[in-house]
């Protein structure tokens, strides 16, 4: 049979319905789900069928017992009845969580949590026997290294003004503590631990599975490398880095190609210090002194090429077993996750990978959340603006960025505070007096979760 989806132009709008004399339950108001559109189909059951693969439109409410222990989540309708009857209270809105006011029996199911670790984003998904209970990704802060560099500059400037300071030579933390990690890597590692602890407070997790991976950086650069070539780097036979870069660029300026006539050659960093410049071979370029000076004075601009960094791969190779040992959990490998994800026909994403890591296959999916980490406090007390008097903050304001407030019967996030804390700026760029809004929820160090999307 052929299904027809037709658009009728002669649909009567003012015709009254004829009441049924047999049963009053049949006298219900009937409306069209789509205006001016009627389904002409010989198989009416197929009109109610979901798309292939199911649609991720389900949202759940997470439930805590009276003692704070997690229970199985429920649907929003049941949570609404519990709150209206005074049996439960709202704990959090991101994600929506309620707490019972009486001790409920702990009839929980086996829940497997899958974690897809990453350098910039972390995917998570918890799966029970029949459906997925939580899904989403967390975007980790990427400004930690920059903040540490600024702190180093401020400390160096402050200590240079001291008349005397005791010498410190053996105070490096790497020489005192075994298993030390760089602060930026340590922050990303701790973010994985905090995320897992947060999910365990929402759901009674039975088992945790983490994906581990080890990347061969030299193999990525040169797929044909083998044997002793691993010990013979690109600088083999050269005395230093400068000699190799000059030889690689044929002792010519890569901008003017020797047209300036300046024979003094210098090494130029393609990326600036603020962009995280290093002395890697890919980030250095040969320029003559004339072009080099003109570039830094802004007269000319040396074209920069895209540089492939291997920070994500190095990070995963560094923390893979530290994470497994810290969580004391099961693990899987990336190629297994990729193979299973392709078999299920899922797109490449962190939450889909986490779903596969948790052992998901045909379970009912849930709407995924997206969280973004932010700084909990802004410790900058003085703000220097060109042309203005230095502004010094002498108090801590009531609201911080990304706090949720109630204004004009709607929940909206705070963007900032001005006028010495008397007014706040909302997400819609409107300035409102502080006494016109009511606090709904603090940001608690992470940005408001975006609405679940399919």
Convert the pLDDT of each residue in 19-65 to its tens digit.
444 444 444 444 333 333 333 333 333 332 323 334 455 789 999 99
8 Å CB contact between 353 and 341: yes
Condensed to tens digits (0 to 9), the pLDDT of residues 81-127 reads 999 999 999 988 878 999 999 888 888 899 999 999 999 999 999 99
Instruction: Report whether 42 contacts 3 (CB < 8 A).
Output: yes
Least trusted range by pLDDT, from 29-33, 315-319, 364-368, 431-435: 29-33
**Residues 72, 166 within the same domain:** no
Is the same domain home to 346 and 265? no
Dihedral sign of CA atoms 148, 150, 152, 155 in order: negative
**Domain end point (choices 297, 325, 351):** 297
Given a contact cutoff of 8 angstroms between Cβ atoms, the answer to whether 5 and 40 are in contact is yes
- CATH number at 404 reads 2.30.30
**pLDDT tops 70 at residue 421:** yes
Residues 344, 207 within the same domain: yes
36-49 pLDDT, tens digit each = 333 333 333 333 23
Of 54, 77, 108, which residue constitutes the final position of a domain? Answer: 108
The residue from 108, 142, 171 where one domain ends is 108
In a domain, 326, yes or no: no
Is residue 427 assigned to a domain? yes
Q: Examine residue 453 and state whether it is found in any structural domain, yes or no.
A: no
The answer to whether residue 204 sits within a structural domain is yes
The residues pairing with 446 across neighbouring beta strands, listed in sequence order, are: 373
- The answer on 430 and 345 residing in a single domain is no
Class of residue 303 by CB neighbours under 10 A (exposed 0-12, middle 13-18, buried 19+):
exposed
Same domain, 77 and 12: yes
Dump pLDDT digits (tens) for 222-247. 888 888 888 888 888 888 999 999 99
Q: Does residue 454 have a pLDDT over 80?
A: no
**Structural domain includes residue 366:** yes
Mark whether 40 and 168 lie in a shared domain: no
Same domain membership, residue 202 and residue 186: yes
Looking from the CA of 407 toward its CB, the CA atoms found within 13 Å total: 19
Report yes or no on 314 lying in a domain: no
Whether 355 and 266 map to the same domain: the answer is: no
The answer, yes or no, to whether residue 169 has pLDDT greater than 80, is: no
Is 306 domain-assigned? Answer: no
What does the pLDDT read at residue 28? 42
Residue 223 is assigned to a structural domain of this protein: no
- Structurally, the chain folds into a number of domains equal to 4
When pLDDT is cut at 50, 70 and 90, the band that residue 444 belongs to is: low
Residues 290, 271, 152: CA angle, nearest 5 degrees: 110
Q: Are 147 and 72 within one domain?
A: no
| CA gap 69, 258 in Å, rounded | 72
- Percent of the chain scoring above 90 in pLDDT: 41
277 and 208, same domain (yes or no): no
Query: What pLDDT score was predicted for residue 2?
Result: 44
Contact 103, 65 (CB under 8 A): yes
Residue 410 CA: distances (Å) to CA of 9, 413, 420 = 39, 10, 25
Query: Are 16 and 68 found together in one domain?
Result: yes
Reported as a pLDDT band with limits 50, 70 and 90, residue 344 is: very high
87 and 152 assigned to the same domain: no
In angstroms, the Cα distances linking 172 to 140, 150, 157, 337 are: 27, 19, 20, 40
Residue 357 CA to residue 369 CA, distance in Å, equals 18
pTM of the model: 0.74
The region of weakest confidence among 203-207, 218-222, 343-347 is: 218-222
DSSP, collapsed to helix, strand or coil, labels residue 175 as helix
pLDDT digits (tens, 9 = 90+) for 123-154: 999 999 889 999 999 999 988 988 888 888 88
Domain extent, residue 255, equals: 231-297
Of residues 293 and 274, the one with the higher pLDDT is 293
């Amino acid at each position: 049979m052929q299904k027809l989806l037709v658009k009728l132009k002669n649909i009567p709008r003012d015709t009254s319905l004829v009441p049924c004399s047999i049963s009053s339950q049949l006298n219900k108001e009937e409306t069209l789900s789509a205006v001016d559109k009627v389904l002409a189909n010989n198989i009416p059951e197929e009109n109610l069928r979901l798309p292939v693969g199911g649609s991720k439109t389900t949202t759940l409410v997470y439930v805590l017992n009276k003692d704070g222990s997690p229970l199985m989540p429920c649907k929003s309708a049941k949570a609404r009845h519990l709150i209206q009857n005074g049996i439960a209270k709202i704990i959090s809105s991101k994600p929506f969580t309620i707490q019972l006011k009486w001790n409920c029996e702990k009839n929980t199911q086996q829940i497997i949590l899958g974690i897809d670790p990453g350098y910039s984003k972390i995917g998570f998904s918890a799966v029970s026997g029949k459906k997925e209970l939580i899904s989403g990704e967390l975007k980790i802060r990427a400004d930690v290294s920059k903040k540490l560099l600024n702190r180093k500059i401020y400390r160096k400037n402050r200590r240079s003004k001291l008349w005397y300071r005791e010498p410190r030579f053996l105070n490096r933390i790497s020489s005192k503590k075994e298993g030390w990690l760089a602060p930026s890597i340590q922050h990303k590692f701790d973010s994985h631990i905090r995320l897992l602890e947060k999910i365990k407070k929402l759901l009674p997790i039975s088992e945790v599975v983490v994906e581990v991976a080890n990347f061969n950086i030299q193999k990525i650069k040169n797929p044909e490398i083998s044997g002793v070539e691993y010990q013979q780097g690109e600088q083999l036979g050269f005395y230093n880095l400068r000699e190799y870069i000059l030889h690689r660029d044929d002792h010519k300026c890569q901008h003017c190609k020797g047209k300036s006539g300046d024979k003094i050659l210098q090494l130029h960093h393609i990326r600036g210090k603020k962009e995280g410049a290093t002395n890697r071979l890919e980030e250095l370029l040969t320029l003559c002194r004339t072009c080099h000076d003109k570039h830094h004075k802004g007269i000319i601009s040396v074209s920069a090429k895209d540089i492939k960094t291997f920070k994500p791969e190095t990070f995963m190779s560094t923390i893979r077993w530290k994470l497994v040992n810290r969580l004391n959990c099961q693990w899987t490998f990336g190629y297994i996750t990729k193979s299973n994800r392709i078999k299920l026909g899922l797109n490449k994403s962190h939450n889909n990978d986490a779903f596969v890591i948790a052992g998901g296959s045909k379970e009912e999916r849930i709407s995924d959340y997206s969280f973004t980490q932010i700084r909990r406090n802004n410790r900058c007390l003085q703000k220097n603006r060109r042309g203005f008097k230095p502004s010094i903050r002498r108090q801590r304001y009531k609201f911080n960025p990304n706090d949720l407030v109630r204004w004009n019967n709607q929940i909206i996030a705070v963007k900032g505070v001005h006028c010495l804390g008397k007014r706040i700026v909302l997400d819609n760029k409107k300035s409102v007096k502080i006494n016109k809004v009511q606090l709904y929820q603090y940001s608690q160090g992470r940005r408001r979760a975006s609405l679940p999307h399919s």
